[in-house]
Amino acid sequence: MGVSREKVFNDFSAWYNDVIEQAGIIDKRYPVKGMLVWRPYGLRIVRAIEKIIREEVEKTGHQEVLFPVLIPEDEFNKEAEHIEGFGNQVYWVTHTGETPLEKRLLLRPTSETAIYPVYALWIRSHKDLPLKLYQIVPVFRYETKHTRPIIRQRELSHFFEAHTAHASPEQAEAQILEDVEIMGVLCEKLCIPFLCHRRPDWDKFAGAVYSIGVDTILPDGRVLQIGGIHNYLQNFAKPYNITYETEDGGHEYVYQTTYGMSERLLASLIALHGDDHGLVLPPQIAPVQVVVIPILYKDQNQEKILEQVETCKKKLLSGGLRVEVDTREDRPGSKFYDSELRGIPIRLEIGPRDVKLGQVVVVRRDTLERVATPVNNLLDGVRKTMDDMTRDMREKAWRTVRDRVRKVGGLDEAVRELETGGGIVQVEWCGSETCGHRLEDETGASVLGLPYPEQPTPLNSCVVCRSKSKHVVSLAKTY
Amino acid sequence: MGVSREKVFNDFSAWYNDVIEQAGIIDKRYPVKGMLVWRPYGLRIVRAIEKIIREEVEKTGHQEVLFPVLIPEDEFNKEAEHIEGFGNQVYWVTHTGETPLEKRLLLRPTSETAIYPVYALWIRSHKDLPLKLYQIVPVFRYETKHTRPIIRQRELSHFFEAHTAHASPEQAEAQILEDVEIMGVLCEKLCIPFLCHRRPDWDKFAGAVYSIGVDTILPDGRVLQIGGIHNYLQNFAKPYNITYETEDGGHEYVYQTTYGMSERLLASLIALHGDDHGLVLPPQIAPVQVVVIPILYKDQNQEKILEQVETCKKKLLSGGLRVEVDTREDRPGSKFYDSELRGIPIRLEIGPRDVKLGQVVVVRRDTLERVATPVNNLLDGVRKTMDDMTRDMREKAWRTVRDRVRKVGGLDEAVRELETGGGIVQVEWCGSETCGHRLEDETGASVLGLPYPEQPTPLNSCVVCRSKSKHVVSLAKTY
């Protein structure tokens, strides 16, 4: 049971663009292409997500730092692959006032080249390791692909990036696993299903030894990457000269990893849970968890109703819930419409009949089910409804995503499946880059990489070259 | 009673630069002049200050938004005074990759010109007013004056700016008063004494009708502006075409104000409270409020001590305090040194004798007074000590600043007082700009402006031209 998602599935792009503006998440009319304004309601959701991210990464020993937005050209130019990957996307600052700068500065597209010169100063001894720091900052990438609000911006306003340094490759590897676990905890709270893939070499992060992409599937069947976890080993430590003194007095380069996430977490939870009435927000991150709407009639005893509204509000506040009473001069119907558009998890309706019966009508946003609840059991009732809703949202989203991942036996079938059902189609692959590119060319999709961690599966032959296959590989049309 | 502040007063600049680096607030070795790295401990203090700011401004109905860092040149060029004031300090983005941009972009030095084109879209009717929004963001100013960590940066990492729009000049004026009140609440919590001045016309914010500067006096006798409150009336509404429909269907330009603050709040509380041992942090914003240090001897029963440490930690945590146990392998003396450097408000020392007596030694950071406290009264004892400390810090800082404000009768005396005692020297003034500039030239100090709100005082004659004076005006050497 649930509210119709016809519009979401039939024309995802139009639905998405509408709902993020109408629900007050962002305004895309800012006069620079690919940059947008975060409105109060949207920003409150972002802050709630950030709070969860901070809690989770701090539990695992990460500390927050803040590096400047501007990076000097010579620091940026130290790691060759990184320059190649980001060079064309860089915004260059060349002047202050009308005076040319002696040394050009760039706006960070990501912060490796800002942070690592300072890591070279901070890390001296094995006692300084592991070093686990993160920041949440705006980054700037001149995207040439089609921009799309929150999903692909030229200014990403809230880019999370963790940068760790370790004494051994094993510890760096363990960090990658910890990052995947953190993603699991986050996505459980945010009700976002995800799959990890070890990206093919031709699609790894610029400068990484390997990259794990964290992917989800949007309602239009295209895959959105919502996180990136990268093992650099010593690729940056060498050009940036980040060394440490080992216990026996030698000197070694550190081993590094990074972990990146962005507002795409918000975009995907909007896309995965929204319906034809608007947003559906998981209670944990909803800026307003409960909206109370008095149903007033002119001839009835309005005072009693408003009293009951006040009682309910106090009860819920005392339980630490985020509550709003909608006292605007407007029809109840229009208030219902609003609360649904904004995705408020719980709506309480209180009318003359409810006052008589000492009850409240509790409406949960995901199903719009209405349950009359005695006022003296309100707090427990609302809490339980929020828990049920969270669990159901999580399970339903996981089912939807899981149903869109399937393995097929041949290339033609893969093309057909991608065309009709979208999502992720898996085939067997010999592992060669030539066959990988052929896969992409023939299907018009991207190779997401190998499911991570890789599952042991009985294998036959590569769908391209028919030689013995080594892996199951995922294909999808991507954002 | 208190700890020596000899170093603070004798060579403030050296003391300040040392303490902010050694206590782990910032690192100034970032390879771009005037930009710095916020280290974990410093950033936690900044976040605590931001939390207070957010609470206070949201109480008064402000909502948080987030606008892009980059502003298109044509939007920036709409208000003439504003361009003149900021034009030379602007960082220009001219290229992406190697391709010149069609339209140059600038890094916001402040966000009027980013926000107001969007206000023109958001504000339609008198029902949309007042509009009270704020953001906390990095801003960029190519300062040509001597830069100084946290005090004068080319990237201000945490710039608070509130932008309000109103239906009448009276409401804009009332907003200015509300802003001054908010500053009062903030500064009470942060234990920062301040004075407001209505800046002279030649020193108001670029584009404002008038500006209120919020000033404090650092230990070297120089004044630091820690906030700016500006009434624009319709100066921006006209070029940005921000109008609203009045109740009777007419159209009018809105009246606007802004309120700015930055990390200087942190700089000033470090400067006003620090002593020769290091930082002294007001308990409310200290990342660690209580550090517990076990005093262990080899031959004694260490287990009992560690048990008592654990008991105390739990008690304090249960009271919601931020507690850290210093379990590093190090001498207690070195741990004391560290806790004082970092300004942790309360230190608990627990040794063999304390275990025997069921007590703990509570040391408060501002006075280093040591008081033995029974374990079963620990939480109340620590809370009371923190309250006493906050009150004493606030009062002491206010006394110090108040003592450095004095009125003198003539120009020579003003010069002498500024030379010897620094701080703020007040004289009588006719109000003419000519005499104002003469005051600055003769004293080598800046005119801070008229104390705000202005106090009625019996007046004689202007210390420059000897004509009838109209105001008492403040002079000071400034940062």
Q: What is the pLDDT of residue B457?
A: 86
Task: Tell me: do B330 and B241 sit in the same domain.
Answer: no
Task: Tell me: do B43 and B83 sit in the same domain.
Answer: yes
Chain A interface includes B352 (CB < 8 A) = no
3-state secondary structure of B236: coil
**Inter-chain CB proximity B88 and A97 less than 8 Å:** yes
* H/E element, B464: none
What are the tens digits of pLDDT across the range A37-74? 999 999 999 999 999 999 999 999 999 999 999 999 99
Calculated CA dihedral for residues A273, A275, A279, A280, nearest 10 degrees: -50
Cα A380 → chain centroid = 31
What are the tens digits of pLDDT across the range A350-368? 999 999 999 999 999 999 9
User: Using 50, 70 and 90 to split pLDDT, how confident is the model at A83?
Assistant: confident
User: Using 50, 70 and 90 to split pLDDT, how confident is the model at A1?
Assistant: low
Interface of B with A in 112-141 (CB under 8 A): 114, 117-118, 121-122, 133, 138, 140
Q: What is the pLDDT of residue B377?
A: 95
- In percent, the amount of chain A with pLDDT more than 70 equals 100
Task: Tell me: do A364 and A462 sit in the same domain.
Answer: no
CA distance A70 to B429: 45
The verdict on residue A397 lying in a domain is no
Task: Tell me: do A129 and A49 sit in the same domain.
Answer: yes
The tokens 């109840």 sit on which residue?
Answer: A332
Q: What is the pLDDT of residue A51?
A: 97
| Most B CBs within 10 Å, among A33, A37, A102, to test the B interface | A37
For B157, residues 6+ apart whose C-beta sits below 8 A from its C-beta are A66, A68, B38, B46, B138, B263
**Inter-chain CB proximity B97 and A90 less than 8 Å:** yes
Q: What is the pLDDT of residue A322?
A: 98
User: Using 50, 70 and 90 to split pLDDT, how confident is the model at A81?
Assistant: confident
Chain B interface includes A1 (CB < 8 A) = no
Q: What is the pLDDT of residue A387?
A: 98
Nearest CA distance, B110 vs chain A (angstrom): 15
Q: What is the pLDDT of residue A301?
A: 78
Task: Report the chain B residue with the minimal C-alpha distance to residue A95.
Answer: B92
**Inter-chain CB proximity A95 and B92 less than 8 Å:** yes
The verdict on residue B232 lying in a domain is yes
**Inter-chain CB proximity B65 and A43 less than 8 Å:** yes
In this model, does residue A258 exceed pLDDT 90? yes
CA distance B355 to B440: 63
In this model, does residue A456 exceed pLDDT 90? no
Task: Tell me: do A372 and A409 sit in the same domain.
Answer: no
Q: Are B293 and B350 in contact (CB under 8 A)?
A: yes
Nearest CA distance, B441 vs chain A (angstrom): 28
In this model, does residue B300 exceed pLDDT 90? no
Residue of A118, A163, A157 whose CA lies nearest to A139: A157
User: Using 50, 70 and 90 to split pLDDT, how confident is the model at A297?
Assistant: confident
Task: Tell me: do B51 and B169 sit in the same domain.
Answer: yes
The Cα-based distances of A188 to A56, A203, A316, A391, A392 in angstroms read 12, 27, 25, 9, 12
Residues of chain B neighbouring A67 (CB-CB closer than 8 A)? 30, 37-38
Task: Tell me: do A107 and A180 sit in the same domain.
Answer: yes
For A118, residues 6+ apart whose C-beta sits below 8 A from its C-beta are A67, B27, B29, B30, B37
Q: Are B366 and B392 in contact (CB under 8 A)?
A: yes
Task: Tell me: do A305 and A418 sit in the same domain.
Answer: no
**Inter-chain CB proximity B37 and A67 less than 8 Å:** yes
Residues of chain B neighbouring A141 (CB-CB closer than 8 A)? none
Residue of A362, A327, A346, A236 whose CA lies nearest to A289: A346
- Write out the two tokens for A61: 């020993």
Radius of gyration of chain A (CA): 25
| Amino acid, single-letter form, for residue A376 | N
Nearest CA distance, B401 vs chain A (angstrom): 32
The verdict on residue B394 lying in a domain is no
Q: What is the mean pLDDT of residues B68-95?
A: 92
CA distance B177 to B198: 12
Q: Are B206 and B301 in contact (CB under 8 A)?
A: no
Chain A interface includes B147 (CB < 8 A) = no
CA distance B448 to B469: 17
Nearest CA distance, B212 vs chain A (angstrom): 27
Chain A interface includes B97 (CB < 8 A) = yes
Structurally, chain A folds into a number of domains equal to 3
The verdict on residue A283 lying in a domain is no
3-state secondary structure A396-458: HHHHHHHHCEEECCCHHHHHHHHHHCCCEEEEEECCCHHHHHHHHHHHCCEEEEEECCCCCCC
Q: What is the pLDDT of residue B83?
A: 85
The verdict on residue A280 lying in a domain is no
**Inter-chain CB proximity B142 and A107 less than 8 Å:** no
The residue among B226, B244, B273 that closes a domain is B273
CATH number (domain holding residue A341): 3.40.50.800
**Pair type for strands A155-166 and A131-140:** antiparallel
Task: Tell me: do B172 and B37 sit in the same domain.
Answer: yes
**Inter-chain CB proximity B118 and A29 less than 8 Å:** yes
Task: Report the chain A residue with the minimal C-alpha distance to residue B25.
Answer: A65
Q: What is the mean pLDDT of residues A283-290?
A: 98
Q: Are A114 and A108 in contact (CB under 8 A)?
A: yes
| Most A CBs within 10 Å, among B57, B67, B139, to test the A interface | B67
* H/E element, B112: helix B112-122
Chain A interface includes B1 (CB < 8 A) = no
Of B213-217, B271-275, B329-333, B386-390, the range with the lowest mean pLDDT is B329-333
**Inter-chain CB proximity B67 and A94 less than 8 Å:** no
CA distance B117 to A308: 44
Chain B interface includes A156 (CB < 8 A) = no
Q: Are B261 and B179 in contact (CB under 8 A)?
A: no
What are the tens digits of pLDDT across the range B170-216? 999 999 999 999 999 999 999 999 999 999 999 999 999 999 999 99
Which of the pair, B82 or A240, is modelled with greater confidence?
A: A240
Query: What DSSP string describes A129-161?
Result: -SEEEEEEEEEE----SPPBTTTB-SEEEEEEE
Is the bond into B453 cis (omega within 30 degrees of 0)?
yes
Mean pLDDT of chain A: 96
The Cα-based distances of B387 to A361, B188, B266, B286, B400 in angstroms read 46, 13, 20, 13, 20
Task: Tell me: do B377 and B418 sit in the same domain.
Answer: no
Q: What is the pLDDT of residue A299?
A: 74
**Inter-chain CB proximity B105 and A32 less than 8 Å:** yes
CA distance B184 to A316: 32
**Inter-chain CB proximity A35 and B65 less than 8 Å:** no
**Pair type for strands A471-476 and A446-451:** antiparallel
Task: Report the chain A residue with the minimal C-alpha distance to residue B98.
Answer: A88
Mean pLDDT of chain B: 96
User: Using 50, 70 and 90 to split pLDDT, how confident is the model at A84?
Assistant: confident
Chain A interface includes B142 (CB < 8 A) = yes
| Most B CBs within 10 Å, among A70, A136, A266, to test the B interface | A70
CA distance B374 to B360: 6
In this model, does residue A248 exceed pLDDT 70? yes
For B301, residues 6+ apart whose C-beta sits below 8 A from its C-beta are B352, B355
The verdict on residue B401 lying in a domain is no
Task: Report the chain A residue with the minimal C-alpha distance to residue B106.
Answer: A93
The Cα-based distances of A290 to A280, A283, B108, B284, B452 in angstroms read 13, 9, 38, 31, 44
Q: Could you list the residue range(s) of the whole structural domain that residue B463 is in? A: 406-476
Radius of gyration of chain B (CA): 25
Interface of A with B in 201-220 (CB under 8 A): none
Residues of chain A neighbouring B64 (CB-CB closer than 8 A)? 40, 43-44, 47
The verdict on residue B167 lying in a domain is yes
Q: What is the mean pLDDT of residues A126-148?
A: 96
* H/E element, B106: strand B99-107
Residues of chain A neighbouring B91 (CB-CB closer than 8 A)? 70, 93, 95-96, 105
Task: Tell me: do B206 and B258 sit in the same domain.
Answer: yes
Chain B interface includes A91 (CB < 8 A) = yes
Task: Tell me: do A318 and A267 sit in the same domain.
Answer: no
**Inter-chain CB proximity A89 and B97 less than 8 Å:** yes
CATH number (domain holding residue A424): 3.30.110.30
E-state strands within A305-356: 323-325, 346-350
Task: Report the chain A residue with the minimal C-alpha distance to residue B133.
Answer: A40
Residues of chain A neighbouring B37 (CB-CB closer than 8 A)? 65-68, 118
What are the tens digits of pLDDT across the range A4-29? 999 999 999 999 999 999 999 999 99
In this model, does residue B20 exceed pLDDT 80? yes
User: Using 50, 70 and 90 to split pLDDT, how confident is the model at B1?
Assistant: low
Interface of B with A in 24-83 (CB under 8 A): 27, 29-32, 35-40, 43-44, 47, 63-72, 75
- Write out the two tokens for B143: 């300062």
* Biggest distance spanned by C-alpha atoms of chain A: 87
Q: Are A33 and A142 in contact (CB under 8 A)?
A: no
Query: What DSSP string describes B408-430?
Result: -SSHHHHHHHHHHT-SEEEEEE-
Chain B interface includes A373 (CB < 8 A) = no
3-state secondary structure of A477: coil
Nearest CA distance, B422 vs chain A (angstrom): 34
* H/E element, A306: helix A302-318
Residues of chain B neighbouring A72 (CB-CB closer than 8 A)? 31-32
Q: Are A205 and A81 in contact (CB under 8 A)?
A: no
Q: Is the pTM of this model over 0.80?
A: yes
The verdict on residue B10 lying in a domain is yes
Q: Are B470 and B218 in contact (CB under 8 A)?
A: no
Residues of chain A neighbouring B27 (CB-CB closer than 8 A)? 118, 121-122
- Write out the two tokens for B473: 């005006």
CA distance A89 to A141: 5
**Inter-chain CB proximity B35 and A68 less than 8 Å:** yes
Instruction: Choose among B40, B70, B118: nearest Cβ to A27.
Output: B118
What are the tens digits of pLDDT across the range B363-379? 999 999 999 999 999 99
The residue among B329, B359, B387 that closes a domain is B387
3-state secondary structure of A174: helix
CATH number (domain holding residue A86): 3.30.930.10
Nearest CA distance, A312 vs chain B (angstrom): 22
Sign of CA dihedral B190, B193, B198, B201: negative
Q: What is the ipTM of this complex?
A: 0.96
Sign of CA dihedral B402, B407, B413, B418: positive
Exposure b/e, B27-56, CB count within 10 A at least 16 = b = bbebebebbbbbbbbbbbbbbbbbebbbeb
Q: Are B75 and B242 in contact (CB under 8 A)?
A: no
Residues of chain B neighbouring A155 (CB-CB closer than 8 A)? 68-70
